[in-house]
Each structure stands twice: as C-alpha cells, then as structure tokens.
Chains A and B, each alone.
Chain A
Amino acid sequence: MRTKSTNILPALFTYGFVGLMAFLSVFPFIWMVLGATNASIDIIKGKMLPGEALATNVANFFTLVNVPLVFWNSAKVTILATVLTLAVSSLAGYGFEIFRSRQRERLYSAMLLTLMIPFAALMIPLFIMMGKAGLINTHIAVVLPTIGSAFVVFYFRQSTKAFPSELRDAAKVDGLKEWQIFLYIYVPVMRSTYAAAFIIVFMTAWNNYLWPLIVLQSNETKTITLVISSLASAYYPDYGVVMVGTILATLPTLAVFFFMQRQFVQGMLGSVK
C-alpha cells in the first residue's frame, strides 16, 4: 500500500539536510557582511542585525591600511603565480601524458610523492635557498616555489588523457612542430581545463598565507592576507574593520569564480566533448 506521506518523508529529509548544509556554508559569509556594518563592541555582543557603522569601518580600514598598495601586491603575486603555474604545469602535464616512458613514469610518481610533504617541512630549506639567492622580501620569492605545482601537473595529465590523439596526428601530418601543436591545438581544445585550473591556482595564490608571511619582511611588500592577519591579532581587534578587510579580500576570488563558473564546471566534467 502506498500513501503519499511515505513519498514526502524522504524528500523532506533530503531538503532539510540540504538546507542545513547550505545554511552552514553560507552563514559565515552572512555574518561577515553583517559584521562589516556593526561596531566591534556590537559584534562581540553577538548582534546579528545590520548596523550603521559600515561607513566608519570602511573609513578606518582605509586609514589603517594602504589599500591600493596592498591590493597591488596581492594582484601582482597572484597574476604572476597563476600565469606561470598554468604555463609550466600544463606543459609538464602534456609532456607526461603524450611522451610516456618508464623513466618518466618514475619521475611522475616521485613528483606526486612531493604532495605528501607538508609545507612546514619545506619552509626552512626554501627560506635558506631564497636567502642565498638574495630574494628575501621580494615578490619573486613568493611566486617561485608555487610554479611547479605537482597537483596542477597531475590535473593536466589526467585531463590530457581525454585529448584525442587523432588531433595531434592530424596536426603532425599538416607539418606542425610539437610546440605549435601545444600552442595552437592543445591549448584551445583544453580551454575549460585551463579555466578550472585557473580558478584553483588563482584562489590558492590569492589566499596564500604561510609562505608570503615567511619571506615578506616589510610593510611595503605585504599582501592582503598578511594585513588582515595583523589587524585581527591586535589585543583588541576592531572586528568591524577586520570584516571590511575580509570582504574586500574575498571580492577578487568571488569575481573570478562567478565569471568562470561555467568553464569551471565543464573543466571538472571533462574538457573535450
């Protein structure tokens, strides 16, 4: 015997669960936005309604922080890291998949193993290297270690498996050199893979914290993550100002994600149709 209620119950459960999860993930964001409109003392007291302190908080943030400089630093590091990582790691992923040999497979496994090493263990050797190279307190030092990303190489190699070898063969017949095949055939075909990787690399670079913290030494080179950390660790942090900073710091990643959402999903589903 089937009644209506037996059908509704699972649906109710599903939506209840999904609703709860959605709330849990959106709540911190809402709290951040509400916090930006309240004075610090109200935030501590747990006020959950919009307040009138937004203008003050924004003004305070702009007086405390050299906003254009900090954002320029973050943008510089992020764009450099993203472009270079995509260029180097996609080439590597392509190479590993197209030109296979036993030695290369070993190299590939060794490279994947580096994913297992926590960054904290690499930090001091890396720091010594940068010190010897005279790169401490430069943005180059922030970018360099991120370029050869084992994860992105892995991601490109997996995606390259779906790259039709016929395309490459046809291009060869037409007389294209290897670099031309990569540049004129592979890159356009793998557009959505690049888009997805772009979002991942962009976000990691923009939110990168530990390494920039270690190598950057002066107020003039600091990125936005370091500035927010410093604001938030005061003995009496002005949480309203911190929230304004957090919102501003979230905007670029948010924009990138919204603009590239469609390509991101395609890239995750498989790049070649």
Chain B
Amino acid sequence: MDKLVRTHLPRIAGLAFAGASLLAVSAAQAKEITIWCWDPNFNVAIMKEAGARYTKTHPDVTFNVVDFAKADVEQKLQTGLASGTADALPDIVLIEDYGAQKYLQSFPGAFAPLSGTVDYSGFAPYKVEVMTLDGQVYGMPFDSGVTGLYYRKDYLDQAGFKPEDMQNITWDRFIEIGQEVEAKTGKKMMGLDPNDAGLVRIMMQSAGQWYFDKEGKPNITGNAALKASLETIGKIMSANIYKPANGWSDWVGTFTSGDVASVVTGVWITGTVKAQPDQAGKWGVAPIPALSIEGATHASNLGGSSWYVLESSEEKAEAIDFLNEIYGQDIDFYQTILQDRGAVGSLLAARGGAAYEEADAFFGGEKVWQNFSDLLAKVPSVNYGIFTNEADLAVTAQLPALTQGTPVDEVLQAIDAEIAGQIQ
C-alpha cells in the first residue's frame, strides 16, 4: 500500500492537477466574449457598458473589448476571413453599414444569421435592410446616423427667420434663406467640403434612392434622386452660400467657430455642436430640407454601424444572447449611452425612455432626441450594395466638374463610366 501510494501519488496528483487546471481554463475561456470595434470614446465605451450590464445578470460571461482604428478592424477582419484562420477572429465585430453587404456577400457563412432570435420589427427598418441578404438578417443594428438640419437661431433671427420657417422646407427654399442670411449677417449658410460626397448621400437617401438598385446594380444615369442631389449641390455652389472646407477637421471648424449658420449631417454631430458652451441656446434642430422630386422626404441617414457575430465563434450562443438582451431589449441601456456618449441607437422603443424625453437646454429647450427618434423611423430603406465606397469616390471625382458648370447629365455619365471601370 505504502509503495503503491508512493509510486502512484505523484501521477495521481499530477492528473488531478492537470484536470483541475484544464477545467479552470475552460471555465474561464468558454465564456469570454471578444469584441473588435473602433473609437475608445464611443463604440468601445458603449460596448464596455453593455458588457458590464450583461455580466451583472450573467456573472459567468465576461467581455474583452479590443479597440483598433476603423480601417484596422476592416483590415484584420478581411485578413482573418480570407485566411480561414477562425481562431484569429473575434466573437463580435463592428462593421460600418456602408460596408456590411460587402462582407456578407464576399464571405458567405462567415456571419451568424440572427433572424428568429432578434425581433427586427422593433428597429428602424432602413437599418435592418442594410444587414439583410437572401431573406436572412445578420447583425444587431446599432448607432444611427439619422440626419438633421442644425441651424443658428441667432443668425437666422437677424435675417428675419423664425424656427417655424426652418421646418419641412425644400432645398430651394434653403438656398433662398441662405442668400438672405448672407445679405443680412455676412455669414455663409453652410460649410461644404468639395472632396466629401456625404451631402450627396444624405440627399439621395432622403428620396429613397442609392448608387445601386435593389439588385445591387449601378443606378446612376436613371437615378432621379442622384440627379436632383447633384443639381442642388450645383445650385448651392453657384449661389455661393457655402464656406469651402478642406477635410473633415476644417469642415467641423466651419460651425464650431461660428462662421456658418447651419449644418446638415448625422445626429452624431450633436456632441461636437454642444462642445461649444458659448453657443448654448443659439442652436435649433429641424428635419433636413427635401429635394423637389417624387418620393422626397425629410429623413435620411449618414454613417452608422452595427454588430455582427462570427459564425466560427466558440461563444456564438452567448454572444447572440448578449446582443439580443442588451441591444435588442434594454431601453435603460439606450438612455445611458445617449446621455453619456450621445449615441442614438436604432431600437425604436428607446424613445420612450427618460433621456429621450428630456428637453435640451443647449437647443433652447427643444426635445431634440424625440425629434430625431421620429425621423429615425421614417428614413427610407435603400440597398447600400457592395461598392458604396467606390461609387463615392467616383462622385467626389466629378464634383469639381459640377462646380465648373458641366451639365448634370454629363456629370452622371462620367460617374457611371467611372463606377463601371471601378467595379469590374
């Protein structure tokens, strides 16, 4: 017996030890959800908040939120998917809406479909459209880029316009107001970066069209909304109611410095607008102007991204449950991220919460968030296709021609030719 124990004890102990450590490792690893996203102050912080909420009710699940630059997340995701090295991928990844179809179509089977689990009827329809492929819905809709017309009440007041005059106007009216504002105050109506097609995208989607049709084929020369958008930008340029900006920071500078009377962009700019305490009470928000064509609306979108679960993930079930429980249902979570980070989610029910109900003193007591939330449900759904970035480049390349007075139809032809060349 003694001998038996002496010879076997180390082995038994070793076995027990190995077993214990194996268990410990699997217990610790099985429930850690790894997430890739960008922007430490926005997506990363929001995901950490979401993780903390889930861990409270599910103490065995922990989160590892890794932050990379946006381009870096895309590069890593692309490499990981292309190499087929599944263990190199996270469990959840953030993808910008404009690029979503590219990943879904290029890597079939790489992302877990969530239809059946997630109740998509509760989300803004246009966000769901972005992640739908062949009847299956992938991903959890996240932040919205629902657009608004931010305007300086003080400048417009000097020019003789009341907040009512800014509600539900057309772009032609907007240009008239701009000319009046410049005559009375010397301020330009808006900042415009000729190398950024963002405004084209806003206008086009507000009329329910995109660079691509529902089948994903280029939709340029016959695209009434795109044509009207380019015409409008041409009019803005020839009316000279804009302050030219060179790049993003410069463009942001046009309104933070108080040089322009309005901004048309996504709701995520609110934080930057409010970062100027000396401008408190001077801003108002209205729906964006509409194009003067059939199907035109006052609601559109710029940017925004969503969460996707990787099919190869070992924690797939937990990851899906986590997204569904927090992003799919937790109204209180949406209040927190709105208050702390200025993030407007795509869950329509979130508008009933306290943060959305609150009147914002910076905007003179307007219920800004409720207004955005109303618009959110009205954003027309379009198919972003897989070549939005390429199409964007083609449009940007032709914007100077537009400034020089080239007829819009010729510009459209040129854009069409360029896109055809790019996506072959």
Q: Is A230 an interface position by the 8 A CB rule?
A: yes
User: Considering the complex, which residues of chain A in the window 205-243 have a beta carbon less than 8 Å from any beta carbon of chain B?
Assistant: 210, 213-214, 217-219, 226, 229-236, 239
Q: Is A124 an interface position by the 8 A CB rule?
A: yes
Bound CA span A46–B259, Å: 14
User: Considering the complex, which residues of chain A in the window 47-77 have a beta carbon less than 8 Å from any beta carbon of chain B?
Assistant: 64
Q: Is B228 an interface position by the 8 A CB rule?
A: no
B84: nearest chain-A partner, CB-CB: A128
**Contact: B88 with A136, CB < 8 Å?**
yes
Given contacts A45-B256, A234-B40, A236-B41, contact A226 B68 (CB under 8 A): yes
User: Considering the complex, which residues of chain B in the window 34-79 have a beta carbon less than 8 Å from any beta carbon of chain A?
Assistant: 34, 38-42, 64, 66-72, 75-76, 79
Bound CA span A234–B67, Å: 10
**Contact: B256 with A41, CB < 8 Å?**
yes
Residue B70 contacts which of A64, A123, A233 (CB distance < 8 angstroms)? Answer: A233
Q: Is B2 an interface position by the 8 A CB rule?
A: no
**Contact: B275 with A131, CB < 8 Å?**
no
CB contacts (< 8 Å) of B249 on chain A: these are 43-44, 239
In this complex, which of B64, B249, B268 has the most chain A Cβ atoms within 10 angstroms of its Cβ? B249
**Contact: A44 with B252, CB < 8 Å?**
yes
CB contacts (< 8 Å) of B76 on chain A: these are 213-214, 217
CB contacts (< 8 Å) of B250 on chain A: these are 44
Q: Is B82 an interface position by the 8 A CB rule?
A: yes
Q: Is A127 an interface position by the 8 A CB rule?
A: yes
User: Considering the complex, which residues of chain A in the window 136-150 have a beta carbon less than 8 Å from any beta carbon of chain B?
Assistant: 136-137
- CB of A136, distance to nearest CB on chain B (Å): 5
Given contacts A44-B253, A136-B87, contact A229 B67 (CB under 8 A): no
Residue B275 contacts which of A41, A127, A214 (CB distance < 8 angstroms)? Answer: A41
Residue B85 contacts which of A127, A210, A236 (CB distance < 8 angstroms)? Answer: A127
CB contacts (< 8 Å) of B109 on chain A: these are none
CB contacts (< 8 Å) of B79 on chain A: these are 123-124, 127, 214
CB contacts (< 8 Å) of A233 on chain B: these are 38-39, 69-72
Residue B69 contacts which of A43, A137, A229 (CB distance < 8 angstroms)? Answer: A229
Bound CA span A218–B65, Å: 8
CB contacts (< 8 Å) of B257 on chain A: these are 45
CB contacts (< 8 Å) of B68 on chain A: these are 213, 226, 229-230
Bound CA span A123–B85, Å: 13
CB contacts (< 8 Å) of B339 on chain A: these are none
Contact bitstring B82-119, A, C-beta under 8 A = 1, else 0: 11110110100000000000000000000000000000
Q: Is B271 an interface position by the 8 A CB rule?
A: yes
Q: Is B272 an interface position by the 8 A CB rule?
A: yes
**Contact: A45 with B72, CB < 8 Å?**
no
Bound CA span A95–B382, Å: 63
B143: nearest chain-A partner, CB-CB: A235
Contact bitstring A232-266, B, C-beta under 8 A = 1, else 0: 11111001000000000000000000000000000
- CB of A107, distance to nearest CB on chain B (Å): 29
- CB of A191, distance to nearest CB on chain B (Å): 39
CB contacts (< 8 Å) of B253 on chain A: these are 44-46
**Contact: B75 with A213, CB < 8 Å?**
yes
CB contacts (< 8 Å) of A218 on chain B: these are 34, 64, 66
CB contacts (< 8 Å) of B85 on chain A: these are 127-128, 131, 136
In this complex, which of A218, A219, A235 has the most chain B Cβ atoms within 10 angstroms of its Cβ? A235
**Contact: A128 with B83, CB < 8 Å?**
yes
**Contact: A235 with B256, CB < 8 Å?**
no
Contact bitstring B20-46, A, C-beta under 8 A = 1, else 0: 000000000000001000111110000
CB contacts (< 8 Å) of B42 on chain A: these are 234-235
Bound CA span A239–B34, Å: 28
In this complex, which of A131, A137, A210 has the most chain B Cβ atoms within 10 angstroms of its Cβ? A131
- CB of B343, distance to nearest CB on chain A (Å): 10
- CB of A60, distance to nearest CB on chain B (Å): 11
CB contacts (< 8 Å) of A236 on chain B: these are 41, 271-272
Given contacts A124-B83, A213-B76, A235-B268, contact A230 B40 (CB under 8 A): yes
CB contacts (< 8 Å) of A226 on chain B: these are 68, 72
User: Considering the complex, which residues of chain B in the window 367-395 have a beta carbon less than 8 Å from any beta carbon of chain A?
Assistant: none
In this complex, which of B40, B76, B272 has the most chain A Cβ atoms within 10 angstroms of its Cβ? B40
A134: nearest chain-B partner, CB-CB: B87
CB contacts (< 8 Å) of B252 on chain A: these are 44
- CB of A124, distance to nearest CB on chain B (Å): 5
CB contacts (< 8 Å) of B82 on chain A: these are 124
Bound CA span A41–B66, Å: 27
A221: nearest chain-B partner, CB-CB: B66
Bound CA span A45–B276, Å: 13
- CB of A92, distance to nearest CB on chain B (Å): 29
Residue B38 contacts which of A131, A137, A234 (CB distance < 8 angstroms)? Answer: A234
B257: nearest chain-A partner, CB-CB: A45
CB contacts (< 8 Å) of B268 on chain A: these are 235
**Contact: A234 with B39, CB < 8 Å?**
yes
**Contact: A229 with B83, CB < 8 Å?**
no
**Contact: B88 with A217, CB < 8 Å?**
yes
Bound CA span A210–B76, Å: 10
Q: What 6 A-B pairs are tightest by C-beta distance, nearest first?
A: A233-B69, A131-B85, A234-B39, A229-B69, A44-B249, A128-B83
- 6 new A-B contacts at CB < 8 Å, known A131-B83, A217-B34, A217-B66: A128-B85, A131-B88, A233-B71, A234-B38, A234-B40, A236-B271
22 contacts between A and B (CB under 8 A): A124-B79, A124-B82, A127-B88, A128-B83, A128-B85, A131-B85, A131-B87, A136-B85, A136-B87, A136-B88, A214-B75, A214-B76, A217-B66, A218-B64, A219-B64, A219-B66, A219-B67, A229-B68, A230-B38, A233-B70, A234-B38, A236-B271
By a beta-carbon cutoff of 8 Å, the part of chain B in contact with chain A is 34, 38-42, 64, 66-72, 75-76, 79-80, 82-85, 87-88, 90, 249-250, 252-253, 256-257, 268, 271-272, 275
